[in-house]
Amino acid sequence: MDWQAIVLSLRLALSTTLVLQVVGMPLAWWVAFSRRRWKFLVEAVVALPLVLPPTVLGFYVLIAIGPRSPVGALYARLTGGLLPFSFAGLLVASVLYSMPFTVQPMAAAFGSVDRKLLEAAWCLGVSRASTFRRVVMPLARQGIATAAILSFAHTVGEFGVVLMVGGNIAGVTRTVSISIYDQTQSLDYNGAWHTSLLLVAFSFVVLAVTYSWQRRAWMLWPPH
Partner 1 sequence: MKPRRVVSRRLALLMAFAACAAAGAQKLTVAAAADLRFALDELATQYRAAHPEVDLAITYGSSGNFFAQIQNGAPFDVFLSADVDYPQRLIAAGLASQDSLFLYGVGRIVVWVPAGSPLDPAALGIHLLEAASVRHIAIANPQHAPYGRAAVAAMRSLGVYDRVSPKLVLGENIGQAFEFVESGAAEAGIVALSLALKPAGRGHGRYWEVPQEAYPKIEQGGVILSRAPAGPAAQFRAFLLSAEARRILKQYGFSVPQ
Rounded to the nearest 5 degrees, what angle is found at the Cα of 189, between the Cα atoms of 185 and 195?
100
Residue 111 vs 167, nearer CB to partner 1:
167
Q: Counting Cβ atoms within 10 Å, is residue 202 exposed (0-12), middle (13-18) or buried (19+)?
A: middle
Nearer to partner 1, 70 or 138 (CB): 70
Q: Taking CB under 8 A as the rule, does residue 77 contact partner 1?
A: no
Report the residue number, 130 or 186, with the smaller CB distance to partner 1: 186
> What b-and-e string marks burial along 91-126, b requiring 16 or more CB atoms within 10 Å of the CB?
bbbbbbbbbbbbbbbbbbbbeebeeeebeebeeeeb
Q: If we measure between CA atoms, which residue out of 66, 71, 57 comes closest to residue 86?
A: 66
CA–CA gap between residue 199 and residue 2 (Å, rounded): 12
**Residue 85 within binding range of partner 1, rule CB under 8 A:** yes
Which is nearer to partner 1, 58 or 100 (by Cβ)? 58
H/E element holding 16? helix 3-33
**Least gap, CB of 1 to partner 1 (angstroms):** 16
Query: Interacting stretch for partner 1, rule CB under 8 A, among 13-21, 107-115, 121-129, 185-193?
Result: 185-193
Residue 166, SS3?
coil
Site for partner 1 contains 106 (CB under 8 A): no
CA–CA dist 72, 82 (Å, integer): 7
CB of 72 vs partner 1, minimal distance in Å = 8
Residue choice 77, 185, 220, 224 for contact with partner 1 (CB under 8 A): 185
Nearer to partner 1, 68 or 224 (CB): 68
Among 63, 71, 91, 137, binds partner 1 (CB under 8 A): 63
8-37 positions binding partner 1, by CB under 8 A: none
Q: List residues binding partner 1 (CB under 8 A).
A: 62-63, 65-68, 82, 84-85, 163, 165, 167-169, 182, 184-187
